[in-house]
Amino acid sequence: MNDYKIVIDAGHGGDDPGASGNGIIEKDLNLKISNYMYDRFRELGVPVKIIRSTDETISPTERVNRVLDAFGNSNDVVVISNHINAGGAEFSYHYKI
């Protein structure tokens, strides 16, 4: 696993709350999950960066720039984008950088 570098993207944030229901706001849960993953990868000695570690608004362009700034654009970089969707979608978006 140490051959790979991990970039964690905590989806949404700041002015973009994402989905919400039953008192759960997606941006907050995404951040908790992402911070946990970041800490765990570090404990395991895996090179890891996190796109946002606080509740901040990030434009789509800035999000991509932060991903690229983390470790560059190579085949040994894995990007994990955390989202907790409300359901009902019949498709999802996948970004190729």
Task: Classify residue 12: in a domain, yes or no.
Answer: yes
Is the separation of the CB atoms in 79 and 69 below 8 Å?
no
pTM for the model stands at 0.84
Q: How far apart are CA 96 and CA 64, in angstroms?
A: 10
Structural domains of the chain, count: 1
Q: What is the pLDDT of residue 60?
A: 95
Structural domain for 19, as ranges: 5-82
Phi, psi of 75 (to 5 degrees): -70, -15
pLDDT in tens, the chain (97 residues): 459 999 999 999 999 999 998 889 999 999 999 999 999 999 999 999 999 999 999 999 999 999 999 999 999 999 999 998 776 655 555 555 5
Query: Can you give the CATH number for the domain in which 66 is found?
Result: 3.40.630.40
